[in-house]
Amino acid sequence: MLERLNEAMDHIEDHLDETVDAAELARIAMTSEYHFRRMFSALAGIPLSEYVRRRRMTLAGAEVLAGERTLLDVAVRYGYSSGEAFARAFRAVHGVGPGEARRTGAALHSQPRMSFRLIVEGSSSMRYQVVEKDRFRLVGRGTRIPLVYEGMNPAIVEFVKSIGKETLGRWEERATGEPDGVLAVVGNHSAEDAEGTELDYFHGVVSEMEVPGASEALDIEPGLWAVFESSGEFPLAVQYLWRDVYTQWFPSNPYRSRPGPSLSRTRVSEDGTHADAEVWIPVERAGD
């Protein structure tokens, strides 16, 4: 899988002065476009479209400083129909317009070419299973949160605090199915979402009972789920679990992610130093 991903990266480099077709990249990587975008975003830490834009502007920046082409020629070469559109994109990446950069020889930002490789450390093992579930219902409360790629999300922390420990305890007592316990659910997340994009976020339990304080319900469609477990230092155990799913498990197993919400449950020790984490990701067999 990693070899195929790197072939797709080569294809990006060969077509930076053309339209980069995500569907073609997915074909090269022998997977679906949805999974390719999710995989790329998880491995690279930025959406595919943002990486392509940064690489394109890196090459364009070198040509702007070289001064061998007019600014309009550079703009057209990298797919911009007008100097104004090119200038906006250039400024968004480099913090300065192309005309000023050429006049002053300004310092520009460079996006290095990416390639992927698997590092085998042997320090831990990942526990997982693939399960098939019928339709199930989550009950709880939902909100909208801004996307944060690294670190704690203050909006989630405040939302959970607003529900309250006592309410969460009552919810957990009324959980009647798997995944067990109080779950964090992220719904409409796309691999192309930029940091700060608002996402649907839900906190609740799988239950057919009446759950006090639960004002909303989500019906989850049937399908396959890959379930991952990890224990260790908090919050590293949780962060590393998400990382390892995309950098180690997906490239090594015949599955790909499918559209649907991701579910997670984290149980932190009383002193806040240890966590048991469980993540549910909707998947499908890669050959289907």
Q: What structural domains and CATH numbers belong to the chain?
A: 2-104 (1.10.10.60), 127-285 (3.20.80.10)
CA Rg, the chain, in Å? 22
What pairs with residue 200 in β-bridges?
Answer: 144
d(CA 285, CA 253): 9
The reported pLDDT for the residue numbered 123 is: 41
- Altogether, the residues listed in the chain come to a count of 288
- Decide if 171 contacts 217 (C-beta within 8 A): no
Question: How far is 139 from 126, CA to CA, in rounded Å?
Answer: 29
> What is the maximal distance between C-alpha atoms in the chain?
71
How far is Cα 203 from Cα 183, in angstroms, rounded to an integer? Answer: 6
* Residue 64: per-residue pLDDT: 93
Digit-by-digit pLDDT tens for the chain (288 residues) are: 678 888 999 999 999 988 899 999 999 998 888 888 888 887 787 889 889 999 999 999 999 998 999 999 999 999 888 889 999 999 999 999 999 999 998 888 888 888 877 554 434 445 789 999 999 999 999 999 987 766 667 898 899 999 999 999 999 999 998 999 999 998 866 656 666 778 889 999 999 888 999 999 999 999 999 999 888 887 777 777 877 787 778 877 788 888 889 999 988 888 888 888 899 999 998 876
* pTM reported for the whole predicted model: 0.67
Per-residue pLDDT, 263:
94
Tokens 């469609």 found at: 221
CA–CA distance, 29 with 6 (Å, rounded to integer)? 8
Cα(248)–Cα(43) distance, integer angstroms = 10
Using a CB cutoff of 8 Å and minimum separation of 24, what contacts does 34-38 make? 34/191, 34/256, 34/257, 34/258, 34/259, 35/250, 35/256, 35/257, 35/258, 36/8, 37/190, 37/191, 37/192, 38/191, 38/246, 38/257
pLDDT one-digit tens code per residue, 238-282: 777 877 787 778 877 788 888 889 999 988 888 888 888 899 999
